[in-house]
Chain A
Amino acid sequence: MTRDIAVVAFAQTDHRRTSEDLSEVEMLMPVLHEVLDRTGLKTADIGFTCSGSSDYLAGRAFSFTLALDGVGAWPPISESHVETDGAWALYEAWTKLLTGEADTALVYSYGKSSPGSVRDVLTRQLDPYYLAPLWPDSVALAALQAQALIDAGHTDEPALAAFAARSREAARDNPHAQLRGPVPHGDHLVRPLRTGDCPPIGDGAAAVILAAGERARTLCPRPAWIRGVDHRIEAHGLGVRDLTDSPSTRLAAERAGAFERPVDTAELHAPFTAQEVVLRRALRLDDTVCVNPSGGALAANPIMAAGLIRIGEAAARIHRGESDRALAHATSGPCLQQNLVAVLEGDPR
């Protein structure tokens, strides 16, 4: 059975360095209400709910269960959770809708990095035998990748600074972004990466609604049809991989149909400047493509939501008529270990 499935609504919080005055569900709820209001749906109308978050950010086991209060999980609902970025929750919801078991889905994800030290927290996702005991933090691993790219002649420090400046300039038009406009490129955090090459640390949440077939047309004037989604992973060992390339992104894009026709927009989840170099090459994006008009993860990187936001931002451009065919990318793990690519299209005009 083939069904057309679309993103019909998207909402996100303002991303901030800290939202300590709010619990996770208190931070999330306005976003859930906003995305439902856009479609006129109520939580009871939703066929499937899927969320993404991480216990390690919260420092508590089963932390996602508390957030379920925000979607009205009584009487019982059809619900699932992924312990990673919400982009993967969207993938699960998309496959659920493809089966025909539901016609609408609510996908949300959230992360509060403010309670802990996210550089240390992310070390716990590494190989526990050979890597985690050394506590290599997320910036250090991204810096190794950046140096590999510089050594290979694919970029240099001024080029990286230009990526950062362009992203934050683009974020001027994004009222939700955490860093907007000129941001000092700063000192080295872990050389060769400077503070400006790294994403802001912040708290935030995002939600989208998916709908199938004619249902999508009734909920949104110009649905963002999902033409394909695929996600791929690379070897766990960093020293096994060529850090200057991302074959998993390339393969995911190919399977999602990204190379069948050109895209006009790409929302890339590249938390570090150098990663945009890798992704542009893997996705064969040239200067005709509008990359990260939202500002991308360099302007706001709420962990576990930043990937879903890429899909939401790409879809929202189609909703507004600013794009006809957009690519959205999400990543997880160190140095672009896991990559998801979605291709979205609006109806022909």
Chain B
Amino acid sequence: MPEVLKAPLVVEFPFTRSLGPVQSAFLTGLRERVVLGVRTRDGRTLVPPVEYDPVTAEELGDLVEVAPTGTVTTWAWNHDPRRGQPLDTPFAWVLVRLDGADTALLHALDAPGPEAVRTGMRVRVRWAAERTGAITDIACFEPYTGATPPLTGHDGHFDDAVTGIVAHARLDYTYSPGRAQTAYIDALRGRRTVGERCPACRKVYVPPRGACPTCGLATSEQVEVGPRGTVTTFCIVNIKAKNLDIEVPYVYAHIALDGADLALHGRIGGIPYDQVRMGLRVEPVWAEGARHPDHYRPTGEPDADYDTYRELL
């Protein structure tokens, strides 16, 4: 078996999220170096604040200031920080119950080593130099042995509150298409198209995915199909896609390659868009160095009889 193909795959997205009144107040507060919690009806103060009481599900909105100092309730020493984490030097993950709060906030603690960290130790917020209204406005916590500083007296109302955050996310993968699709892509390199035949229903699937979707059986018998085929159905594209260098209108079609029992898609060229029709016989056109056909063009043969492709629509 040839080695399976592999390629890097990066999934990256700036998630734009809106904030409700409670999260908006909390994150705006961080921007202004003020930590806010939310008070529940039974008098607990939740930090970080949430919009609904996790016990009673009651809607919450009574914001109260808590101190930027607190106590570690549990911790874990992270000697090998990963991408995106708050510090790039070894640090402790900590849950911190800020003074005035009844719940704990997760963040990083900058400490020289695990010997310097313990549950119950006193810490304070180290503010980020640039603050935008995000949890990362807290750069980290740091050990602190002083007194609890006085509160600023903030009531949680801001004139220019942040109303949203943009959360960047990136995950790195090594994509492998598996055995069947590797064989398909390898064959394309030689400008051949291969499918796989189901051992039960004998249908040939292109591109092959290693299974017959009708029988649920593994397919492994390779079958070369095409290169010619028949347009089974098509549509006329009138809107130009971003970054796509094709003049509109153009035709996008389902093409049943000769010998295949499943139509694949491709663009039709070499013929005016309004003359493309079901049954049109086409062949692939390869661009120099391309890894798949650029488009399909008419072969000049007579059209295929409807009955020869009706099962492939």
Contact = CB atoms under 8 A, between A and B. Distances in A.
Given A72-B212, A72-B215, A237-B54, A243 B74 contact: yes
Interface in A171-219: 188, 190-193
Contact of B216 (A32, A124, A132, A133): A32
Interface stretch (A19-27, A298-306, A312-320, A338-346): A19-27
Interface in A36-80: 43, 56, 59, 66, 68-75
A40 B198 CA distance: 21
A29 interface: yes
Interface stretch (A111-119, A154-162, A223-231, A321-329): A111-119
Contacts of B73: 148, 239
A136 interface: yes
A129 B93 contact: no
* Most chain A CB inside 10 Å of its own CB: which residue of B50, B167, B209, B210: B210
Interface in B117-154: 119, 134-136
A230 to B, nearest CB: 19
A140 interface: yes
A238 B119 CA distance: 16
B103 interface: yes
Given A129-B17, A243-B74, A143 B93 contact: yes
A147 B135 contact: no
Interface stretch (B177-185, B232-240, B263-271, B274-282): B177-185
Contact of B177 (A23, A30, A33): A23
Contacts of B23: 129
B83 interface: yes
Contact of B211 (A70, A137, A188, A238): A70
Contacts of A20: 4, 6, 174, 176
A122 to B, nearest CB: 10
Contacts, number: 194
A1 interface: no
Which range holds the interface residue count of chain B? 35 or more
Contact of A115 (B50, B83, B173): B173
A43 B179 CA distance: 23
B213 A29 contact: no
A5 interface: no
B189 interface: no
Given A23-B181, A59-B171, A147 B210 contact: no
A56 B105 contact: no
A157 to B, nearest CB: 13
Interface in B58-108: 73-79, 82-86, 93, 95, 97, 103-108
Contacts of A140: 76, 78, 93
A243 B75 CA distance: 12
Interface string A2-25: 000000000000000000111111
Nearest to B9: A59
A69 B216 contact: yes
Nearest to B175: A115
Nearest to B165: A129
Contacts of B212: 69, 72
A23 B209 contact: yes
Contacts of A73: 213, 216
Contacts of B1: 21
Contacts of B111: none
Contact of A133 (B4, B9, B167, B211): B167
A143 B80 CA distance: 14
A128 B17 contact: yes
Given A72-B214, A148-B74, A116 B106 contact: no
B48 interface: yes
Nearest to B77: A191
B39 to A, nearest CB: 14
A237 B73 CA distance: 14
A190 B78 contact: yes
B312 interface: no
Interface in A105-155: 114-117, 119-121, 124, 128-137, 140-141, 143-148, 151
B173 A144 contact: no
A317 to B, nearest CB: 28
B169 interface: yes
A23 B93 contact: no
B161 interface: no
A256 B23 CA distance: 37
Contacts of A116: 171-174
Contact of B213 (A23, A69, A143): A69
B248 interface: no
Nearest to B15: A128
Contacts of B11: 59
Given A23-B178, A59-B9, A128-B17, A69 B211 contact: yes
A136 B214 contact: no
A239 B218 contact: no
Contacts of B119: 147-148, 151
Given A73-B213, A136-B106, A21 B178 contact: yes
Contact of A134 (B4, B135, B165): B135
B256 interface: no
B24 to A, nearest CB: 10
A134 B107 contact: yes
A56 B171 contact: yes
Interface of B: 1, 4, 6, 9, 11, 15, 17, 19, 23, 27, 46-48, 50, 54-55, 73-79, 82-86, 93, 95, 97, 103-108, 114, 119, 134-136, 165, 167, 169, 171-181, 209-218
CB-CB nearest 4 A-B residue pairs:
A23-B178, A72-B216, A239-B104, A143-B76
8 contacts: A59-B175, A72-B214, A75-B214, A129-B17, A130-B105, A136-B106, A144-B75, A151-B74
Interface of A: 20-26, 29-30, 32-33, 43, 56, 59, 66, 68-75, 114-117, 119-121, 124, 128-137, 140-141, 143-148, 151, 188, 190-193, 235-240, 243
